[in-house]
Amino acid sequence: MTPRALDPFLRFAPSLRQAGFAVSPDQTVDFIAAVGVLGPRDMTDIWRAGRALFAVPPERVAEYDAIFRAVFLDQVIRAPTETEDEESEAHEPTGGTQDIEAGDEESEAGADATEAERLTSRSIASRDDAAAARLLRQAPAALPRRLSYRRRATPHGDRMDLRRTLREAARRDGEVLRLHETRRKSRQRRVLLLIDVSGSMKAQSEGMIRLGHALVQAADRAEVFTLGTRLTRITAALKPADAEQALPRAAAAVADFDGGTRIGEALQAFLAVPRYAGFARGAAVTVVSDGLERGSPAAMADAVNRLSRIAWRVDWLSPLAADPHYAPRTAGLQMILPVLDHLGDGASPGRVADHFLEYARRK
């Protein structure tokens, strides 16, 4: 059995190869051997060893860095913008707040959003949440399911189990007393929750992460990411059943609370990593965001279009939709509206919980 510590080393070369890097299978062994000889003191040494061994061209260093952090750190992928100054580099938070100016160019995509990246931390307290408790209790029976390729014996199936029928007949000297039948099993679809944690969603983001914790506990397969100026996977942080342990871990992983809004670039980063894009394949995808995009609306539209082609369905829940007269006015939302399966109310954790529980009625 392969030691668990080797998992990221074994996945790194195939991930690079899937992203289009010229990496041979033999280089996986060479990479592990090189790291062993080097005796790295930190992750930077491993990063440099991989860049040298895999001969990463200078123009693809940023893409290599994104895949490295996804495989080895499993937490944050920077979502760059086209207008971003190369000197404006955000670092991991140190407990303070850093504002990075993105230029004077105006965008009509979202009036209350900002493109500046603010790196800050926030604490998420554990408390009784009726919506999360209801989701935890009712979701296992309500979340969508799909047919599996595996089959199970059943009195009234759709295909005869010839092997079992003949085996029983052989025990009875060739006499067939019963024709056994099978039916395909069903399994829960993967559920993917993408939470906007930008400044315009400040009032909702904490409650949505609490709801994400309940979803991870209730679903057979669930993934939770946050979107802002960065893309952050917080599924692993939300795995502990104890909310007092899970929520602080999730809060520590998210570095861009209450910052800018670059939904399109964050979704592009999500789709650029094969492992993350695989999470969306055949999944029920829910984005909780007001859609006030300050990045490129075209990038947002392209990412959501690509997402809709691989996912089972894509639903968008906006707190602005609580208004009965709400109509999407931002350029980004207007462009993606034709490919969304549902645009609904995401003003509170209770409404988002209702959305997940309503899957049972859509079957």
Residue 125 pLDDT:
62
331-349 pLDDT, tens digit per residue, is 999 999 999 999 999 999 9
Question: Class for domain 130-140+189-362, per CATH?
Answer: alpha beta
Distance of CA 184 to the CA centre of its chain: 28
**pTM exceeds 0.85:** no
1-44 pLDDT, tens digit per residue, is 566 667 788 888 888 877 878 777 677 777 888 777 777 777 88
Task: Please state, rounded to an integer, the average pLDDT across all residues of the chain.
Answer: 81
- Which is more confidently placed, 77 or 267? 267
pLDDT tops 90 at residue 160: no
pLDDT tops 70 at residue 67: yes
223-264 pLDDT, tens digit per residue, is 999 998 888 999 999 999 999 999 999 998 888 888 878 899
pLDDT tops 50 at residue 95: no
98-125 pLDDT, tens digit per residue, is 333 333 333 333 434 444 455 555 667 6
79 vs 292: CA distance, rounded Å: 16
Poorest-pLDDT segment among 131-135, 154-158, 245-249: 154-158
193-211 pLDDT, tens digit per residue, is 999 998 889 999 999 999 9
Domain map (residue ranges) of the chain: 4-73, 130-140+189-362, 151-187
